[in-house]
Structure 1
Amino acid sequence: MNRRRFACGFVMAAALALLHVPKASAAECASLKDIGIPHTRITFAGVVASGAFAPPAYAPGITASQPVDYSHLPSFCRVAGSSHPTADSDIRFEVWMPTSGWSGKFVGVGNGAWAGSITYASMIEPLLKGYATAATDSGHQGSSLDAGFAAGHPEKLIDFGYRGPHEMTVAAKSIIQAFYGRPVDRSLFASCSTGGRQALMEASRYPDDYDGISAMAPANPTVGLMVGSLWTSSATSKDAASRISPATFAFVHQAVLADCDANDGVSDGIIAAPDHCRFDLASLRCGRTGNGTDRCLTKPQVAALRAIYQGPRNPRTGASIFPGFEPGSEGLLSIQASGTGPIAPVLSYFRDLVFHDPQWDFRSFDYDRDVTRALAAHGRVVDVSPTGLDEYFAAGRKLLMSHGWSDPLVPPMTSVHFYTAVNARLEAKQAANVRLFMIPGMGHCGGGDGPYVFDAIATIDQWVATGNAPRRIVVSNPPNASDRTRPVCPYPQEAAHVGSGSTDEAKNFRCEAPRH
């Protein structure tokens, strides 16, 4: 009897294991070229040998931000295609599937800025972890800094706004099922910035696409972000007297750190509680004869920085339009506030999509009338409302939000406001399905003064699998930096040092209610 049970159990285990064995041959991968998916054409299907992948040459105007090493990738079945849900749509995508060791799960990834190319670098991590993965160019080909693709092409703006990632997801699930002979066990989406906005958009418009979503530093609402970035860059570029060099930003950052670092109870080079910081910029004013250097601020520079912290306001009503940036972000703000005008993605948006004027002057922007104009034209296409996720949460699906407190591109309070509004709508049971983690010292999607590295995919995957929301996330420094770990607590909790032990070790901190 025991032998019979053992044999039966062994057969069942073997059968279950076989369900996870992929159809890994080159012929089976190549046959996906003929798969039938509505309004979709497969342009390539073939196995890529271990370490052999090389991304296609970038189209004109697209450059890689840094070299990417693909030599450590395992063998995978690569499928490329394009979706044409409208006559003016060309949504290109790729699906990568491990030829061995598939986890049974799928991870979709997103884009940055205005998209325009497939984010191959973002597909590396899921593939290495045994997930099938997919990415898209979100419906157009070109520089991610250029919004001109949508001028006169409303369907392409819709493809970018929400339809592109959904089409990618539908195609990817069909392709994965055809290759492995069964549907995916679990679908996850994990991305940052525009990808974070796409993550929220998936939950809002297509709640059945994913079981769990990780949205880091979501660039949402996009129209508000464009207005806020215009305000930030205008503050320091409206005239020569207001200009702030990268060196001066770095000087201000060190002064703010010196004043506010210890407000969280630990002096460690990180402003963990920026809302405790009440630094007086006037203390950095140059003397009567000072004309401004990288060691002091002129009166116009002080005014410019105050405007950046405050964020844009309506000149008629005084109402806040969009959040400003937090104390601690100064060391990174030169990314968008040390030039002579708006950064390229923002300039292109207003010039090409709002005003349709190649000679548009950013100094002419009206923060009352023109904000209304931009919202009316594009808000419903590219912005995600916190009121639109009810169906997603009603089905028990999970949303992991995260944001760096020192983000210099997407103000951190945008995520706080979104999370707070979502949480206020949900009953206690559904509220357990969303969490926000604010990461001290972290910049935009990474970098900054504090540790920031964590496994977002594994975190959301485990949450979906177990139903247990993360009680804290441990972040670490990147491999090329000194060893340092910290816990990040679910907002609004904060990490507090227990009073003994190294402040470089997460085990010496606990999550507590905010002390203010």
Structure 2
Amino acid sequence: MRKLRAGVVASAILLAAGAASAQDCAGLKNLRLDSTEITAADTVTSGTLDLPEAVSLHDLPAFCRVQGIMRPGSDSKIRFEVWLPAKNWNGRELGVGNGGFAGVIGYQQMGGYLLRGFTVSGTDTGHQANGTDATWAFQHPEKVKDFGWRSIHLTAQRSKEILRAYYGKPQQKSYFDACSDGGREALMEAQRFPDDYDGILAGAPAYAWSTLLASGVSAMQALGDPTAYISSFKLPAIQKASLDACDSLDGAKDGIIGDPSQCRFDPQVLLCKGEESLDCLTQPQIKTLQTLYNGARSKTGQPHGFGFSMGDELGWAHWIVGEDPEASAFSQFVRNDFRYIVTGDPKWNGLTADPDAMMTLSHDKSAEDLDSTDPDLSKFSARGGKLILYHGWNDPAIAPGYTIDYYKQVRQKMGADKTGSFVRLYMVPGMEHCIGGPGATAFGQFGVPTEKGSRFGLFDSLENWVEKGAPDDNVIATRFAPQGNAAHQPSLTRPLCAYPTVPKYKGSGDINDAASFACAQP
């Protein structure tokens, strides 16, 4: 395991003359921290904060806003912020993560947790850019390290040092809540820096980064063939066929496949019988669809990754198929990862690359800094750490099989009983990437409340597990109408079921009500 030098890991708080005392926000500007400059320390009392990326937060409590830059490497410039409630601090510290290639601080999430009394921290991971842009990494290996593992760890350290200087005492407990690349960051923390957080909520983790992105080369090539490309206009027909085959497997015909791993839908039923139309697929298109469902394979037939689930193919429009073969979000991620991190060739072309060779090269060039695949969580467990994983069954960005596979690896490494004492996995029917989709997908992640049961669902369960010794067994997820907008009325609730159990309809009652479902073995 790569380790930071002792001087960075164990950086001490050194106070200059006239530095901060408890509750002295402006004085934090004089705080001296290893390889760190505090660039601003201001008390915010207006309740409103206008931030980069057109983010504007309102109704905030008074807080101390600390901004800083960390330079642990010769080419590092890691921006971070720590927000400290001026009153009613709940004694907890929380770190937020990033998405995509990062490049921005998660201000929205920070604001939500600040409202709940947490000290919160976030970082841009060492660069400023849009989430699909990786040009910052071109010929900048130190910045790749900052993005991969260094910035989140150092932000956790600085946050604790700053809050101790401000409040005059340490936090009682520390948490991390993130999804996607943030889920990868979360597992990196549990694996490499197990002392940073007591409780971690990790969604759809892109933890097998070098494999995940390399497996996309085969998908790019399948969709890049004009005779085999699947237009987004054909997704409704595909979704209808998969739902017709598997919607009722959980006992309720509700437009949601409760456990897509049990679905045996054969795309061959969509073969055009005559002239091609939007309601059918050509044989080359069927082959592409099968590749998307089954996952990429090597020349010898070995799996290169995991496939996407059936039942919400409409959700593929942006992420997988795009408006044309080059326009999907996943193609952008693969292309930029290989051009600016893996090969160092800005003209790299995924359509002509050898998928097997790219898999090997991706592992060689990026796994050390970007993968968080170690199943040995013994150090995290030994200090009382708790980890809750979740993943949407219909995630079109990161195939759900990755998270299931990691959970199984942890169980194999540490044993079923030991794993059950500090790790849980929740697979969410009808959820796309991190939140949203046709299912009930609001359950406390990112501070998004749910309608029934504990208000912040899985996060409240994590807190109870860390602080009271047991997680909640009755977590309810909600779909709001319109989807994801908590200001509107709930239209669907479902129990969240700890893997491998799945929600099944009891046979009577409102299919939109969680009370009509029970967690059962698949």
TM over 0.5: yes
Aligned to 1:296: 280
Instruction: Name the amino acid aligned to 2:520.
Output: E
Residues 334 and 347 (structure 1 numbering): CA distance in 2 closer, same or farther, change over 3 Å? same
Q: Deviations over 1:56-80 (max 9, x none)?
A: 3x4xxxxx6xxx5511222211100
Amino acid corresponding to residue 37 of structure 1 in structure 2? L
CA distance in structure 1 between the partners assigned to 2:372 and 2:127 by the alignment: 21
Aligned-pair CA distance for 1:159: 0.7
- Secondary structure (helix, strand or coil) at the match of 2:217 reads helix
Q: CA RMSD in A?
A: 1.8
CA displacement, residues 366-392 of structure 1 (integer Å, 9 cap, x when unaligned): 122221111011111100123332211
Query: Is 1:182–2:169 an aligned residue pair?
Result: yes
Deviation at 1:50, TM superposition (A): 3.9
Which residue matches 2:241?
255
* 1:98-497 pair list within 5 angstroms: 98-237=85-224, 239-288=225-274, 290-291=275-276, 293-315=277-299, 317-335=300-318, 336-338=320-322, 339-341=324-326, 343-427=331-415, 428-456=417-445, 457-478=459-480, 479=486, 480=488, 482-497=490-505
* TM-score, with structure 2 as normaliser: 0.88
- Flag the 1:69–1:251 CA change in 2: closer, same or farther, 3 A: farther
Q: Which of the numbers 484, 505, 508 marks the counterpart of 2:513? A: 505
The total of aligned residue pairs comes to 478
The CA distance in 1 between the partners of 2:367 and 2:88, in whole Å, is 43
Matched residue of 2:57: which SS? coil
- Counterpart-to-counterpart distance in 1, 2:348 and 2:153: 34
Distance in structure 2 (CA, Å) of the matches to 1:69 and 1:143: 18
Contact 2:132 2:336 survives alignment (8 Å):
yes
* Counterpart Cα distance in 1 of 2:217 and 2:114: 38
Note the C-alpha offset of 1:254.
2.1
Pair 1:334–1:135, CA change in 2 (3 A): same
Q: Is the contact between residue 199 and residue 215 of structure 1 (CA under 8 Å) also seen in structure 2?
A: yes
Local SS of the residue matching 1:93: strand
Identity of aligned residues (%): 39
1:349-402 CA distances to partner (integer Å, 9 max, x unpaired)? 112222222222211221222211110111111001233322111222100000
User: 2:260–2:309: 8 Å Cα contact kept in structure 1?
Assistant: yes
Are the equivalent residues in 1 in contact too, given 2:233–2:278 (CA < 8 A)? yes
The answer for the alignment partner of 1:16 in structure 2 is none
Q: Deviations over 1:466-515 (max 9, x none)?
A: 1113324210013336432100111001122222221222122222222x
Displacement of 1:247 in angstroms is 2.0
State the shift of 1:345 in Å: 2.1
Verify the 8 A CA contact 2:461 2:472 in the aligned structure 1: yes
1:44 is aligned, of 14, 28, 40, to: 40
Work out the CA distance in 2 between the residues paired with 1:264 and 1:497.
6
DSSP-derived class of the 2:72 partner: coil
1:300 partner letter: P
Deviations 1:79-113 (A, max 9, x none): 00011111111111001111111100011010011
Considering only CA atoms, is the larger Rg found in Structure 1 or Structure 2?
1
Give the whole-Å Cα distance in 2 for the aligned partners of 1:228 and 1:467: 40
- Is contact 1:229-1:409 (8 Å) kept? no
Equivalent pair of 2:384/2:466 in contact (CA under 8 Å): no
Whether 1:34 aligns to 2:30 is yes
**Unmatched segments (≥5 aa) in structure 1:** 1-22, 59-63
Taking structure 1 as the reference length, the TM-score comes to 0.89
CA deviation map 1:100-138 (0-9, x unaligned): 111000110100111112121221221111111000011
How far apart are residue 250 of structure 1 and its match? Answer: 2.4
Equivalent residue letter for 1:474: I
Alpha-carbon distance in structure 1 between the residues aligned to 2:241 and 2:26 = 60
* Aligned counterparts of 1:38 and 1:256: Cα–Cα separation in 2: 55
* 1:246 shift after superposition: 1.7
Q: Which consecutive segments of 4 or more residues in structure 1 shift more than 3 A?
A: none
